[in-house]
Structure formats: structure tokens, C-alpha cells
Structure 1
Amino acid sequence: MTPALITETKPEDWTYVSEGGVTIVFLYRGPHNVQFSDHVLRLRKVAHGLSDSTLLGTNTEQPDDPMIAFQENIISKLVPSEFLPSLTVVVLDEVWLRSLVVLRDGDRPSKRRQTDQIDIRRKKGVLATDLIGGTPIAIEIKPKWGFLPTECHLSPESVTLKTTTCRFCMHTSFRMEQGGIGTTYCPLDLFSRDEPRVRKALGALWAGWYESGGSLNNLRLFVEGRMAKPDDDHSMQLLAHFFTTDESTDIQNLRESFTSALAQALLDSPILPLLSTLQRTLDILDVEGLSKLYTQTSSSSSCDGLGSSVPDPSMEEWKDFVEVYQSDHHSLDDTVPSPGHLRYYLMAYLLSATFKDCSIIIRPKSAHVGSFDATIIDMDIKSMDRLWKWEKLDREIVEHYENSGSQRRCIDSQRVRQAVCTQLSKWR
């Protein structure tokens, strides 16, 4: 299939939707076009003053965005296709991209504009299924980490904290100390499969969205294809029209209606249990155990950071990894990991990070509250050079939490169920 050409559209046909740390998303709003209608454009970003040196050659063919091959060859082997968006290649044009920046950069959050920009040197981008347009509302939830680590690879200093308080809640405390916005949301409530806890998590997400003016990225609401903000009366009226019976914009009533509708949708969907299982089985050592194994195995200087001397996997290696994960993973002795399996564990941790950082888009199947569809998005490949940064951040978060005096208790329902089953088996 011939790739679509972005120059078949005008920059003004595209409106800003949202962005993350790596990509920025625009929604097609132009005249009907077979290739572009009902699609969004996902563009890579780059820090100000930087550009990917591999892309500088203007006469060489650039590869497709790796997100496409990664989903097609790796993610689709682990996640059923009905929960994934379609991804196709679009050929970009630098002049066109410059015009888009002029038109839409002002729509971006100021903090994002200060940090990075669209990478105008890219020759290829991604067209993805439009999951927010063509529907009265869409909800994006970034669940984050859905499990507590096992004890066997944790240090004496961290074991009690890490098996009592989840990573997200500790990280929230850390960010608040640095001036960030707080939230009472705990991912383990959302992943619990227990309706009162799921409702509690959704209520906390709503409160964080409302109190932060829509700036916290764990919950985003879209109405008529545009990001909604709590101070926008039109957005709130549309949300009330969809979620409530009396169309009241009373914030407490709207919050309760929202949590009720979404709780049932999530309880009916297999997506959260799937994400939790993938996260915990891929991150079986915790970054501490991974670091110990790397130190024991690496021939590099001991001052090298975790993964710093390890090349990124090729797509063929990722394919081989998935085969091993699906066939032989449970035969590995994770309590005493073999140095010969170091690269497997490094790749597993990277893939776990992909599932920890993804988002879920929830949209109604009809114009009224009832049944919903859920799709997993934002599943980028993570790079080995991120590992040492994550290890450093992990230490900082745990040290801060230990010194903060906080004692939040997070309950991992799956671990509780496993412990009960283990105890029962001992009595048989």
C-alpha cells in the first residue's frame, strides 16, 4: 500500500489534540479524504536545539516510525487486535511541518513549548485511528503501575516501603515535594477489580483533573474531538448532557455519574487485568534486582550506569524475545536469575515500561451512557539508555518517601489472591 502524503492536506486541516513526552497528536478536520478522515497524525518531538543525527541526511530514505513495526510485530502478539488502534505510514514534508508549527504551536501547553518542538526533519510520521473524534466524548486514562514488586530482589532499606506503597503513590509524594500537583489516585485501586475501589480511583482521577484545571495527565476528557477543561462551561455542559440524567453541571453530581459509568466499563473490560499481568511478569526483578544482575554480569567499569553499555535490541531480537516470553518465561528461575539471561531481563524491563506508560482511550459505543469500547495507545519502544535514569529516579523516590514519614498502604489485589491461594495449598 502506497503511504499517504501529508501534502495532500493543508496544515490548517489539522487541530492540536494532546501530547506526551515523545509524540504530539493532531486531529484531521479538513474535507473528506479517504486516507485522512477519521485519523489523527502522530508526530515525533525533539528537544530544542537537538535533532536525531540519524535523520539529517536529506538524500537517504528514512525508516518508518518504529512505533508501527513495534505494534505490528511485538505488541500485537501480547494484546488482542481489538484493543489496538490501526497505525499506517504518512510521508511528511519539512515546509508543511513548519507551517503547522506556526499555526498550532500556540495551542500547546506553555511548559511543553519551552521544552521541545515538532521534529521537522522527520520524513515519516504515523496516521492512527481517530479515537476522540466522531463521538460525543472520549476519556483517556493513563493507569501507570498496576502491581507491587516481590520481596526477593529488594534491598533491606527498600523492601518494606516498596511492598507497602506503590511506585505511583511514592512518586506522587516525590513530585509534590518538588512543587508538582498532588493527587490521591492510586493505580492499585483502579486495577483491583473491586467496584468500590475502582470507583474510588476514578473519583480521585476526576478530582485531580478538576483541581488541576485539566493539567494532570492521568485523566484527559475530550468532547466533540477537543480536550475539555473544567473551567470551560461548554465542555462541562456537554459532559453533563452525556453522563447525567438531569444534565446538571453540579460538580459532585457529575463526578458521581462519571465514576459510576466508567467503573462498570472498566470492570467489564479485560484490559486492566491484561496490563497488570504484562507489567508484573515482565518486571519480575524490579530495577534493583536488574541492577544487581547487570553489575554481576557487566564487564564494563562499575561506574557505568544500568544498561549504559548495552545496545538497543533490533526488531528481530524483539520478535525472538516475545517467543521466549510466551513459551519459556515461566521456566526461568527468577529468584536466582542467571547472568546468561541478562539481556532477556533487560528487554523484559523495557517492555514492562511500555505497558506502565501507555494510555487507555474509552469511548461510548452509542450516543448515550451504556456500553463502551476501550483501546490501548502510546506503546512506544523504550531505549536501553533510559535504564540508568530510571534506576537513579527509583533510588531518589524511595529515599524521599522514607524520609517523608508518609505511610500510605496500597493493596495489590492480585498478590493478595496469590498469597491466599498459597496458604490454602499448604493446608491441602
Structure 2
Amino acid sequence: MTPTSITETKPEDWTYVSEGGATIVFSYRGPHNVQFSGHVLRLRKVAHGSSDNTLLDTNTEQPDDPMIAFQENIISKLVPSEFLPSLGVVLLDEDWLRSLIFLRDGDRPAERRQTDQIDVLRNKGVLATDLIGGTPIALEIKPKWGFLPPERHLSPETVAPKTIACRFCMHTSFRMKQGDVGTTYCPLDLFSRDETRIRKAIGALWAGWYESHGSLNNLRFFVEGRMAKPDDDRSVQLLAHFFTAGKSTDIQNLRESFAPVLAQALLDSPVLSLLSTLQRTLDILDVEGLSKLYTQASPDLPSDGLGSSVPDPSMEEWADFVKVYQSEYHSWDHTVPDPGYLRHYLMAYLLSATFKDCSVIIRPKSAQVGSFDATIIDMDIKSMDRLGKWEKLDRKIVEHYKSSGSQRRCIDSQRVSQSGNTQL
């Protein structure tokens, strides 16, 4: 079936929703259209001055966005379909995209505009279920890493900080040193399955949203398809309708009612448990153990960094890996990993990174207060050339944390429940 062309709509039919490092999202707001109503347009971005887009020829057939095949063939084998958005191909047009930039670039955050823009040389984009605009309210949570690494592959220098403080909390400390806005949110509280700890995590997410004026991306609110800010009274009133069960719809009542209602919605959903399991079982060695295995298995390769000499997997290889992961992978001796399985371990770590970096969209099932659906989005393929950068960043984060004098303690409830006490 021939994909629909974006030129069947006008650029002014689309409104800016949000963006991440690789893609930018617009929601359809034009006249009713069977193909476009109830959908968002996900477009790839390119850095200003980047030469990457010179590799694309708009006059030749380009492959579909790999996000589509990755979800259909890989992610859907690991995540039930009811927790995934629908994805489809849409044909793009350079002049149309340039008009969209002219109309909507001013809606983007200033720091994003300075860094990148829509890649106008792409001739294919992604149409996805509109989880933001198709409902009066929605919220996005980016949970991040939901586990502490096992001790066995950590060095004597890193084992203490890495098994006491979670990666997100250490990274937050590092970012604050760089001048970024801080947060007290700990993902291990959110993933704990303990209502008190989940409420604590949600309270910290709320505080981060409120105190940063909505700039932190671990929690975002959307009202009538647009991102809501704490000082937007009308948006706060509409949000409060779904969380306060008829109480006064001001921001104070919203804050007090938000945590218990959302905590129950998360407890009722298997999404966080699923993400935690996938993250921790795929990242079974930590980046330190992965690096040791890489050196052991490839002593003659140039030492340009972890994974630097390894080509990215094909979609067929990803499909084969998922079969291995669902069968013999869990019976391997991960305490002494076999160098013959290096590529599998590298792919497992990349896939874990996808689940660490995804978002969860939560929206009401109906007008009934407290009834919500959860959908996992933003599951891009990660590239092998990222591994070396992640390894270096890991060292920087841990070294900073060790020197910071922080006494933070993050509790991984799954490790506690398995051993009876924390593994320190």
C-alpha cells in the first residue's frame, strides 16, 4: 500500500508538541482526515551545519524510518501491543517541511533552536497515534534507569558508589555541577512497587516540574495537546479536574491529589515492572563488565573505545537476538561471560539503553477520575558508536560522585526482595 503524502495537509494544520534529541513531534489540528486525524508527525532532526544530511538524496527512494521496523519486528516481541503506539510511514516534501519550520520553529525551546532543526532532506517520516492531543489531558514520565548494577563486574573503585546510589541520582549530581537544574527524583522509588515510595517519586517529579517552570523533561503535562506550565491557570484547572475528584481546582489541590492518584495508576499498570525487568536483564554486565569482555574478546582491535570497531546490527540480527534473549540468554553464566557471546552482550546493552531512555504517556481512559492508560513511546535504535561515549561518561559521573561527598542511598527493591537485604 502506497504511504500517504504529507502534502495532503497544510503545514498550518500541524502544531508543535515536543521533541527529544533525535526527533520532533507535531500534532494534526486540521480538518477531519481519515489518514491524519488522531495522529502525530514524528520528524528526524539534524544538527545545524551537520554534513549528515548531504548523504540523503531527496530524488531517490529512502528507507522507512528505522523506528517503524524496530517497533514492529523487535520491540513488539518484548512489549505487549496494548502498551505501544501505532506507527506508519508518511511521505514528506522539502518545500512543505521548510514551510513548517517557518511557521512553528518559534514554538520550540530556544536551546533546541540553537542546536538543530527538522531534517528537510528526509522524504519519509512517521505517523503515530496521537497520545497527547487525542485526550483533554496527558502526562509524560521519563522514568530512566530502574535498577542498581550487580557487584560482580564492577571495579573496587566503583563498586561502593554504584551499588549505593543509582545512575540517575549520580548523573543528576554531575549535571548540577555543570549548572543544570537539579531534582530529588530517584527512579528506584518510582520502580519500587511500594506505594509510599512511588508517591515520594511522584512528589519529586512534581517539584522538579514546578520549580523548573516545566523545563525538566522527566515529567511533562499536556492539556488540549499543548505542553502545560505551572503558571498556566486554565491548564492547571483542567488537570486538577482529573486528579482532585471535584475539589477546588487550584495548583495547591492539584499538587496534593496528584501523587496518590498517579501512584495508583502506576501500581495498576504492569508497564514499570516490564521496563525494569528489561533494563536490568539486558544490562547484565554494566558498562564496566561489557568493556572488560570487549577487551578480552577483541585484544587485537584498535583501542578507540568500547564498540568502536563493531558494525551496527541489521534488523535481521536484532530479530535473531530477541530469539536468543527469550530462550538461552537467561541460562548463560553471566558471572563469567563467554567472549564468544560478545556481540550478543553489546546488542543487549544497546537494547537496554532504549528502555532506559523511553517515555511513558499516561492519559485518562475516560472522564472517570483515576482511570488511566499507559503507553511506552520513544524507543529508538541505539548505535554501537555510542558505547564508547557512554563508557567515558560513566567514569566521569562516578568520579564526580565519589568526590562530591554525597551520602545518598538508593534502594533497589528487586535486589532487596531477592536477597533479603541490600547487596553492598
Which residue type is aligned with residue 91 of structure 1? L
* 2:243/2:261 contact within 8 Å kept: yes
Provide the rounded CA distance (Å) in 2 between the counterparts of 1:379 and 1:300.
Answer: 34
My pick for the range that moved more, 244-253 or 28-37, is 244-253
| Residues 286-306 of structure 1: CA deviation (Å, up to 9, x unaligned) | 000001111112244553110
* 1:64/1:89 contact within 8 Å kept: yes
SS at match of 1:152: helix
| Residues 51-87 of structure 1: CA deviation (Å, up to 9, x unaligned) | 4357422332100000000000000000000000000
| Residues 66-111 of structure 1: CA deviation (Å, up to 9, x unaligned) | 0000000000000000000000000000000000000000000000
* Cα displacement (A) at 1:396: 0.3
Aligned positions of 1:25-36 closer than 5 A: 25-36=25-36
Aligned positions of 1:340-359 closer than 5 A: 340-359=340-359
* 1:55/1:62 contact within 8 Å kept: no
Which residue type is aligned with residue 57 of structure 1? D
Aligned positions of 1:39-188 closer than 5 A: 39-52=39-52, 55-188=55-188
| 2:2 counterpart of 1:2 | yes
* 2:372 aligned residue: 372
* 1:90/1:125 contact within 8 Å kept: yes
| Residues 355-389 of structure 1: CA deviation (Å, up to 9, x unaligned) | 00000000101123121110000000000000000
Provide the rounded CA distance (Å) in 2 between the counterparts of 1:8 and 1:422.
Answer: 58
Provide the rounded CA distance (Å) in 2 between the counterparts of 1:16 and 1:102.
Answer: 12
Which residue type is aligned with residue 227 of structure 2? M
Aligned positions of 1:235-314 closer than 5 A: 235-301=235-301, 303-314=303-314
Provide the rounded CA distance (Å) in 2 between the counterparts of 1:51 and 1:36.
Answer: 32
Which residue type is aligned with residue 337 of structure 2? P
| 2:339 counterpart of 1:339 | yes
* 1:169/1:186 contact within 8 Å kept: yes
* Cα displacement (A) at 1:125: 0.3
* 2:195 aligned residue: 195
* 1:195/1:267 contact within 8 Å kept: yes
| 2:38 counterpart of 1:38 | yes
* 1:426 aligned residue: none
My pick for the range that moved more, 27-36 or 331-340, is 331-340
| Residues 7-32 of structure 1: CA deviation (Å, up to 9, x unaligned) | 00000000000000010000000000
* Cα displacement (A) at 1:331: 1.6
Which residue type is aligned with residue 334 of structure 1? H
Provide the rounded CA distance (Å) in 2 between the counterparts of 1:362 and 1:276.
Answer: 17
| Residues 193-229 of structure 1: CA deviation (Å, up to 9, x unaligned) | 0000000000100110000000000000001111101
* 1:51/1:119 contact within 8 Å kept: no
SS at match of 1:217: coil
* Cα displacement (A) at 1:246: 4.7
Provide the rounded CA distance (Å) in 2 between the counterparts of 1:214 and 1:421.
Answer: 37
Provide the rounded CA distance (Å) in 1 between the counterparts of 2:125 and 2:246.
Answer: 43
Which residue type is aligned with residue 310 of structure 2? V
Q: Percent identical across equivalent pairs?
A: 84
My pick for the range that moved more, 49-58 or 124-133, is 49-58
* 2:146/2:279 contact within 8 Å kept: yes
* 1:55/1:121 contact within 8 Å kept: no
* Cα displacement (A) at 1:330: 1.3
Aligned positions of 1:378-397 closer than 5 A: 378-397=378-397
* Cα displacement (A) at 1:261: 1.1
* Cα displacement (A) at 1:135: 1.4
* 2:21 aligned residue: 21
Decide whether aligned partners of structure 1 residues 16 and 317 sit closer, same or farther in structure 2, where only a CA change above 3 A counts.
same
My pick for the range that moved more, 329-338 or 169-178, is 329-338
| 2:236 counterpart of 1:222 | no
Decide whether aligned partners of structure 1 residues 53 and 251 sit closer, same or farther in structure 2, where only a CA change above 3 A counts.
closer
* 2:242/2:370 contact within 8 Å kept: no
| Residues 322-358 of structure 1: CA deviation (Å, up to 9, x unaligned) | 0000001112111111111100000000000000000
Decide whether aligned partners of structure 1 residues 208 and 422 sit closer, same or farther in structure 2, where only a CA change above 3 A counts.
closer
* Cα displacement (A) at 1:242: 2.6
Decide whether aligned partners of structure 1 residues 68 and 79 sit closer, same or farther in structure 2, where only a CA change above 3 A counts.
same
* Cα displacement (A) at 1:4: 1.1
Provide the rounded CA distance (Å) in 2 between the counterparts of 1:14 and 1:81.
Answer: 27
Provide the rounded CA distance (Å) in 2 between the counterparts of 1:254 and 1:300.
Answer: 59
Which residue type is aligned with residue 172 of structure 1? T
> With structure 2 as the length reference, what TM-score do the two structures score?
0.97
Q: CA RMSD in A?
A: 1.5
* 2:415 aligned residue: 415
> With structure 1 as the length reference, what TM-score do the two structures score?
0.96
Provide the rounded CA distance (Å) in 2 between the counterparts of 1:201 and 1:81.
Answer: 27
Provide the rounded CA distance (Å) in 2 between the counterparts of 1:256 and 1:421.
Answer: 33
My pick for the range that moved more, 233-242 or 372-381, is 233-242
* 2:236/2:250 contact within 8 Å kept: no
SS at match of 1:163: helix
* 1:300/1:309 contact within 8 Å kept: no
* Cα displacement (A) at 1:136: 1.5
* Cα displacement (A) at 1:256: 1.8
* 1:135/1:367 contact within 8 Å kept: no
SS at match of 2:148: coil
My pick for the range that moved more, 236-245 or 4-13, is 236-245
Q: Name the count of aligned residue pairs.
A: 423
